[in-house]
A and B are shown apart, each in its own frame.
Chain A
Amino acid sequence: MRYLDENAIKNIAVGAAVLGTGGGGDPYIGELMALQAIKEHGPVKMLEVDEVPDDALVVPIGMMGAPTVLFEKAPGENEAKNAFQLMEEHLGRKIFATMPIEIGGVNSLLPVAISARLGLPIINVDGMGRAFPELQMVTFYLDGISNSPLVIADERGNTSILQTIDNHWSERIARNITIQMGGSSTVAQYSMSGKQVKNSGVAKSLTFAEGIGKIIRKSKQNPIQEVLSFTSGYSLFEGKVIDIDRKTSTGFARGIATIEGINEDKGKTLSLHFQNEFLLAVENGKPVCITPDLICLLDSETGQPITTEGLRYGVRCTVIGIACNEKWRTEKGIETVGPRYFGYDLEYIPIEIITSEEVI
């Protein structure tokens, strides 16, 4: 057990943007929410998974909807309180702790803010070890945990509870409610026992993000090498963005960014395929990193992460790859978040295998 203070929150924010793999939204607003909440209510108590009783009730919380809306219509003070209250009434039990659903992007720090505001501990764990766009794309789902009952809340005080036949239906219905609520909502879902959290979560993800953020924030010059050694990551490509081809379909920011190599990669080209998150990196026609492994785009100078929405002509960047949590590498994991699910017709090959082939 330890407490998260202002500095920890700032570190997590930067690390979460890296683990957001281009999506998940800029964690800045979550950072501000968390900073305000600890200013008003004091530091946040963070537990490790083995400190949570097996029978305790844990309810993850996060935002659903468009990051752009969230950055404009920031959350109010009572959405999470209302959502948890309805959840407790429905389940007839008190919530012991909360946790992030995903560590990538804005949803990493929102639960920290809520944790401070409601005086609930937060657990050092999440359900992705990165960011993904859909509600069922969590490691709990792979173990057959249902996301119902799902409570959705807005800032006006509207709440709704969903009991669905499967997690895909939750996604579909919740997204429509979110649109009526103004394009962004607060969602409590995947109620679990402490034991389920231990077995099915990605442990230590808050401190993983914190470690990455600490390196980038303290460094004055090129922190990328240090990030690579901390994350056991792979340096994939260095270059500048020369083209961005965006297509909108089904509400997702989809497209391909083309990066032209500089320095050691001069003369080569990398295509970065994205659907909110970066999902596939192809160098001169050959895949070099494939979802669910993490593809992170960092500013070559500062190491600051670059999101798909922040992608522009001429941005100078370094692409790095990080191996995903092993839970994603199962058959069901690949079916849920592998390349074919996102419409890329190729086999998933773990990053450590692709990169070692390259050396040979």
Chain B
Amino acid sequence: MSSYRIGIDVGGTNTDAVILNEAMEVISATKIITQDNVSEAILLALKGVVQQANIPTQRITHAMLGTTHCTNAIVERKHLNKVGIIRIGAPASMAVKPLIGFPEDLQSRLGNEVYLVRGGHEYDGREIVPLDKQAIYDAAGKMKGKVDSVAITSIFSPVTQDHEEIAQAIVKEVLGDDIPVSLSFEIGSVGLIERENATILNASVVNVAKAMANGFITALNEEGIDCQVYFGQNDGTLMSVEYAMKYPIYTIACGPTNSLRGASYLSDVENGIVVDVGGTTTDVGVLVDTFPRESALAVEIGKVRTNFRMPDLVSIGLGGGTIIRIKEDNTFTIGPDSVGYRLKEKAMVFGGDTLTATDIAVFLGKANIGDYNNVAHLDVLLLEKIYQQMIAMVENAIDQMKTSGESEPVILVGGGSVLFPWQLKGAAHVYKPENFGVANAIGSAISQVSGQVERIYSLDQFGRLEAMEEAKRLAIEEAIAAGANPDTCKIVEIEDVPLAYLPGNATRISVKAAGELLK
């Protein structure tokens, strides 16, 4: 008896869905235009892919969804929770109160239940001052009936989480178990404001995540599917429903990550460069041991600065629907605007009146879609020139992402990847895997589960090796807690950064472990 899994990935232009069999082979795939209603697109994609597969639905054992619900809620300021905000750290940190860097429209959405109480820790684990438990009882009492969720942040909680955990117990004692509590040490890393911001945002989308999860499970049930449900997060790994309810913020930006992971899986390449060509843009990312390389920059979500980790991407304004304009003197421009999801009405090969990147490729025989006769009259020399420039744009983006002059494997995925040739400058080999158009949904379906820790260690006290070993052990424990099979867990990322101006060789160590889903 074979079993199946469904992977769905929501993108700005399209929502893709696939069904894989036990051997992880694609048995059906579908593409739906996302437009404005994400939930509707997911439903249609699900219906489409199930119908096409024609398999007994009770054999579907897993469903993975990578979605933009939480991102959209924060960016559009819709359906956000009223958040009770508790910061533990006074008298320190009073000069920078919570929400100070938030845009005003978001501040007013989140409400004004903000409390700063005495407590928190030093970098070496000492208390700044003892935790003022009474102040937390008082804060929780005042919030009662006014908040949907609570965000708690304590200074240096990535080193010592005691004060956050004690505060959580008090809040639950006063407000009951129905009000979800987000603790900062579980959300972000060292950097109080950014971690607190991420924690507040996380608390603000708990209800959105709940509605999204319930909607997905209902949709599955309506198709007669009763299976384990997982959500994609932006490091290319999965969360269980319970985890996603606690950490919905991790779903943000899982889409590009899914494409990278899917590309790695389809091509069997572990280290290389992925070029994901969509309708409007092309994203170029880097695979390091099958996972995306992460960006070094601070990340803004809905104009709020956080210390989230995001995949390192270069995005250029060139996709299948990119508009090409030819002037009277035969000079031309490529994009950056695009006909987007309306390719099939606007592009010349589909009978439209707009010259797009797709038309160029069809004319030159690089791709075989639509009707060649609609473009047959165009000037071959000029179009060849335009095409060369399109290739140069992608080659330049590839080069920007490389870390040395050496050639690397390049994997082309995404619906628009047919545009590009089998040879690219700087590519040791160009892969155009089968099912390239739905690499993102496949990436969602094959995801693993992970655990991550970030702590500050005094190497004089611990010794480097011992500190590393402890961090690795904690990361694997986290992965197992998230649903990973202990036998398949391995460390996928280690980073240590020494901290300036501190004694005892203080070093920040961050470790990520990942493993296959426990069946």
Report yes or no: B297 in contact with A310, Cβ–Cβ below 8 A: yes
Report yes or no: B505 in contact with A248, Cβ–Cβ below 8 A: yes
Chain B interfacial residues counted at CB < 8 A: 49
Report yes or no: A66 in contact with B190, Cβ–Cβ below 8 A: no
Taking the nearest CB of chain A, how far is it from the CB of B399, in angstroms?
7
- Whether B224 sits at the interface, judged by CB under 8 Å, is no
CB-CB under 8 A from B497, the residues of chain A are 246, 309
Task: Determine the distance from Cα of A74 to Cα of B153 in the docked complex, in whole angstroms.
Answer: 13
Task: Determine the distance from Cα of A76 to Cα of B87 in the docked complex, in whole angstroms.
Answer: 13
Chain A interfacial residues counted at CB < 8 A: 51
Report yes or no: A315 in contact with B296, Cβ–Cβ below 8 A: yes
Report yes or no: B91 in contact with A35, Cβ–Cβ below 8 A: no
- Whether A155 sits at the interface, judged by CB under 8 Å, is yes
Of residues 125 through 173 on chain A, the ones whose CB sits less than 8 Å from some CB of chain B are 155-157
- Which residue in A33, A68, A74 is a CB contact (below 8 Å) of B500? A68
A68-B89 contact, Cβ under 8 Å, with A28-B305, A29-B193, A240-B400: no
Taking the nearest CB of chain B, how far is it from the CB of A280, in angstroms?
18
Report yes or no: B404 in contact with A72, Cβ–Cβ below 8 A: no
Report yes or no: B129 in contact with A73, Cβ–Cβ below 8 A: no
Report yes or no: A252 in contact with B293, Cβ–Cβ below 8 A: no
Report yes or no: A276 in contact with B500, Cβ–Cβ below 8 A: yes
CB-CB under 8 A from A28, the residues of chain B are 193, 298, 305
Task: Determine the distance from Cα of A343 to Cα of B92 in the docked complex, in whole angstroms.
Answer: 37
Contact with A along B1-18 (1 / 0, CB 8 A): 000000000000000000
- Which residue in B100, B122, B126, B500 is a CB contact (below 8 Å) of A35? B100
Contact with A along B110-143 (1 / 0, CB 8 A): 0000000000101110101100000000000000
- Whether A37 sits at the interface, judged by CB under 8 Å, is yes
- Which residue in B95, B100, B124 is a CB contact (below 8 Å) of A75? B95
- Whether A348 sits at the interface, judged by CB under 8 Å, is no
CB-CB under 8 A from B474, the residues of chain A are none
Which A residue's beta carbon lies closest to that of B191?
A71
- Whether A56 sits at the interface, judged by CB under 8 Å, is no
CB-CB under 8 A from A76, the residues of chain B are 90-95
- Whether A282 sits at the interface, judged by CB under 8 Å, is no
Contact with A along B432-464 (1 / 0, CB 8 A): 000000000000000000000000000000000
Report yes or no: A68 in contact with B499, Cβ–Cβ below 8 A: yes
- Whether B381 sits at the interface, judged by CB under 8 Å, is no
Report yes or no: B501 in contact with A260, Cβ–Cβ below 8 A: no
- Whether B56 sits at the interface, judged by CB under 8 Å, is no
- Which residue in B126, B155, B192, B498 is a CB contact (below 8 Å) of A253? B498
Report yes or no: B192 in contact with A73, Cβ–Cβ below 8 A: yes
Which A residue's beta carbon lies closest to that of B93?
A74
Contact with B along A283-326 (1 / 0, CB 8 A): 00000000000000001000010100111111110000000000
Task: Determine the distance from Cα of A65 to Cα of B506 in the docked complex, in whole angstroms.
Answer: 13
CB-CB under 8 A from A207, the residues of chain B are none
Taking the nearest CB of chain A, how far is it from the CB of B220, in angstroms?
39
- Whether A183 sits at the interface, judged by CB under 8 Å, is yes
Taking the nearest CB of chain A, how far is it from the CB of B125, in angstroms?
11
Contact with A along B475-500 (1 / 0, CB 8 A): 00000000000000000000001111
A73-B89 contact, Cβ under 8 Å, with A248-B507, A251-B503: yes
Task: Determine the distance from Cα of A73 to Cα of B93 in the docked complex, in whole angstroms.
Answer: 6
CB-CB under 8 A from A316, the residues of chain B are 400
CB-CB under 8 A from A35, the residues of chain B are 100-101
CB-CB under 8 A from A253, the residues of chain B are 498-500
Report yes or no: B100 in contact with A32, Cβ–Cβ below 8 A: yes
Interface centre among B123, B193, B400, B505 (most CB of A within 10 A): B123
Taking the nearest CB of chain B, how far is it from the CB of A279, in angstroms?
14
Report yes or no: B190 in contact with A32, Cβ–Cβ below 8 A: no
- Whether B401 sits at the interface, judged by CB under 8 Å, is yes
Report yes or no: B96 in contact with A36, Cβ–Cβ below 8 A: yes
- Whether A103 sits at the interface, judged by CB under 8 Å, is no
Task: Determine the distance from Cα of A65 to Cα of B296 in the docked complex, in whole angstroms.
Answer: 23
Interface centre among A69, A75, A310 (most CB of B within 10 A): A69
Contact with B along A41-78 (1 / 0, CB 8 A): 00000000000000000000000011111011111111
- Whether A179 sits at the interface, judged by CB under 8 Å, is yes
Contact with A along B179-223 (1 / 0, CB 8 A): 000000000001111000000000000000000000000000000
Report yes or no: B403 in contact with A156, Cβ–Cβ below 8 A: no
Taking the nearest CB of chain B, how far is it from the CB of A89, in angstroms?
21
Which A residue's beta carbon lies closest to that of B122?
A182
CB-CB under 8 A from B129, the residues of chain A are 156
Task: Determine the distance from Cα of A183 to Cα of B456 in the docked complex, in whole angstroms.
Answer: 13
Taking the nearest CB of chain A, how far is it from the CB of B312, in angstroms?
6
Taking the nearest CB of chain B, how far is it from the CB of A131, in angstroms?
12
Q: A74-B92, A240-B400 are in contact. List 16 more A-B contacts (CB 8 A).
A: A32-B101, A66-B501, A67-B500, A69-B502, A71-B193, A72-B123, A72-B191, A75-B95, A117-B95, A183-B123, A240-B403, A251-B501, A260-B404, A276-B501, A313-B293, A314-B402
Which B residues lie at the A interface, using CB under 8 A? 89-97, 100-101, 120, 122-124, 126, 128-129, 155-156, 190-193, 286, 293, 296-298, 305, 312, 399-405, 497-503, 505-508
Query: 21 A-B Cβ contacts within 8 A?
Result: A36-B95, A37-B95, A65-B501, A66-B506, A68-B190, A69-B499, A69-B501, A71-B190, A73-B123, A73-B156, A74-B193, A76-B91, A117-B95, A155-B92, A155-B94, A182-B123, A248-B507, A253-B500, A262-B399, A313-B293, A316-B400
10 closest Cβ contacts across the A-B interface? A248-B498, A66-B501, A312-B296, A253-B500, A182-B122, A74-B93, A155-B92, A76-B91, A77-B94, A74-B96
